[in-house]
Amino acid sequence: MIKRLFILALVAALMPACSNDFELFADKEDIPVVYGLLSKSEDTQFVRLERAFLDKDQSARVIAGEPDSVFYNDAVVELVHLPTGDRFEMERINAADIGLPRDEGDFPTDPNYIYTMDSEVINLTGGDTYGIEVRREGGDNIAYSEALVIGDLRILTPSDPTIQRLNYQGSSSQRIRWREANEVEFFNVRLRFNYEERSSATGGEWVQDELLWVVSNRVRANTVTFVGDEFLQFIGNALVEDPTIDRRFRSIDIRLDAVGSELAAYIDVGLANLGITSSNEIPLYTNVDGGLGVFSSTNFTEVQGFNLTSTAIDSLLDGRFTEQLNFIR
């Protein structure tokens, strides 16, 4: 759940309409702002609902610090499975009560209201469309959106750490392949390098650690390739050379993340003006009718526990990129 809250916070941070510099005004205009990323791989689904309460007589920074101006106290948030019409009302909780206050800034840190639901209750169906409805208690809808839920992901190659070893070394071409998914806009591929180290600072005890290598981002195909030495070069650049530290390889995990079309469009618009020819005004993307924000889907899968081939282990211990890192068997 903490990871999902971080993602929503990151998405919210990209939203120009909710920035601390939002200084537009109107006559008491109340705009719902919705952020929700449905995921079959998470135990809990959650949505952040806030409002941009615009007032020509007060500064946005003053309004942002008032919980009653930021949060709805009478809102009902429902997820709707459109193929069946089944409806699921979400529960509002204060995330600060479970150790997740908002970061310090212009907005309130406590309360930090979000809307949650146990994934077992809604049992998301991959490939189906879900709607989100926001309404005032006893009133009409004030915001609505729809998103196609990303189905289960599957890594095809390599897929079985009990029989496959990874030969990540040399100039050999390496491939990671996964099952195609039509509801996915793009994929991100990462390798987690699990290792342990000991030194006088650890009292001579082995301490586990990890490195995360981004193999490729925004992949629209179902395959990525790379050269084995790229992996070793990453390790060589990421770890500090220290003759007092011994290190041992443990395993490699492969992680595949998928992003839905709505979130992808939101990210594309947010990045559109970050280049050298960009303007200061960032274009606005929203797929929320009656409000602002983004409602989409993400998913991920992971295969853990791969070992390296003996040749790759030799390269890790004595190869040109990592020989000074004191890896031992």
Q: Other CB atoms closer than 10 Å to residue 171's CB: what's the count?
A: 8
Closest CA to 310 of 293, 329, 324: 329
In this predicted structure, what is the pLDDT of residue 14? 44
Burial class (CB in 10 A: 0-12, 13-18, 19+), 132: buried
In this predicted structure, what is the pLDDT of residue 20? 38
Flag whether pLDDT at 21 surpasses 50.
Answer: no
The one-letter amino acid code at 177 reads: R
Structure tokens at 241: 């050379």
Domain segments of the chain as ranges: 2-149, 155-258+302-325
Which residues lie below 8 Å from residue 280, measured CB to CB, with a gap of 6+? 273
Asked if 155 contacts 176 with a C-beta cutoff of 8 angstroms, the reply is yes
Mean pLDDT value across the chain:
87
In this predicted structure, what is the pLDDT of residue 274? 56
Whole-model pTM: value is 0.86
Rounded distance between C-alpha atoms, residue 8 and residue 216, angstroms: 22
Structure tokens at 143: 């915001």
The angle formed by the CA atoms of residues 246, 247 and 252, to the nearest 5 degrees, is: 180
Closest CA to 248 of 202, 321, 163, 316: 316
In this predicted structure, what is the pLDDT of residue 16? 41
List, for residues 94-121, the tens digit of each pLDDT value.
988 877 766 665 556 678 899 999 999 9
Helical segments of the chain, H only? 2-14, 60-64, 67-70, 119-122, 228-238, 261-271, 310-318
In this predicted structure, what is the pLDDT of residue 290? 96
Alpha carbon dihedral 60, 64, 68, 69, in 10-degree steps, equals 30
